[in-house]
Amino acid sequence: MSFEVVDLIGFAASALVFLTFCMQTLLPLRIIAIASNILFIAYGISAGLVPILILHAVLLPVNIWRTVQQIQMRHRVRGMFNKAPDTDMLLPFMTATRFAAGAVVFRRCDQADRLFVVLEGEVRVEEFECTINKGEIFGEIGLFSAEGRRNATVRAVGPVSVAWIDRANVIKLFQDQPDFAIALTRLMTSRLSENQHSLSARLASTV
């Protein structure tokens, strides 16, 4: 291989390394890094530069593996937007309690310091006239509101068993379990939208 071609390979590989510093997202950065690894391996072989050859021969599989992980994470995150939060992962951190038929679980404007899951039975959100069934989460909106207060009253429809987890442990799960964080965020957004539609429909019917 001629001297000029070898130099061109080296310059191209160096240009790709420079380009990685201009990337703002991780996946394109990894792809360009893989391309630079391949060119540097070719450059190392052509120019007889063993240290460069060894370095990029080691970096190439690392960058490929990280790229695969990034792609898998993207698919996983997209999938989380179509799933409800996994309440099974919450249960080991929760405390169970029971309410009699008609009992108030919490009232509007109460301090919101807990997240709840229905274990048995069902509860009704009075202001928005909706029912929360077995296996579903409730109390999440107030937990993350700026005021830290409940935005509705929740009452047991019949005898009901619920489990609760405090704010500190929910925040810890947000930090440790991104899947749960995304799913719960999606749930809160959906609930806020449903609540708004419910109030708008009731207002329209009153008018």
- Is 95 in the same domain as 185? yes
Range of the domain at 95: 87-206
What is the model's pTM?
0.55
- Is 61 in the same domain as 34? yes
The 10s digit of each residue's pLDDT in 145-201 is 888 899 889 999 999 999 998 888 888 877 777 777 777 777 777 777 776 776 676
Tokens standing for residue 172: 């810890």
Average pLDDT over residues 23-39: 87
What residue spans of 95-166 are helical by DSSP H? 140-144
pLDDT at 183: 75
User: 2 falls in which pLDDT band (50, 70, 90)?
Assistant: low
Max avg pLDDT among 116-130, 133-147, 189-203: 116-130
Give the total residue count for the chain.
207
- Is 140 in the same domain as 59? no
CB atoms within 10 A of CB 32: 19
Q: In what order do the strands lie in the sheet with 160-166?
A: 95-99, 160-166, 114-120, 137-138
Residues pairing with 151 in the sheet = none
Average pLDDT over residues 86-115: 86
- Is 64 in the same domain as 95? no
At 62, give phi and psi (nearest 5°): -65, -45
Residue 149's nearest CA partner among 177, 204, 103, 111 is 111
- Is 94 in the same domain as 192? yes
Give the residue with greater pLDDT, 79 vs 89: 89
Structurally, the chain folds into a number of domains equal to 2
- Is 68 in the same domain as 92? no
Tokens standing for residue 18: 């420079």
- Is 54 in the same domain as 21? yes
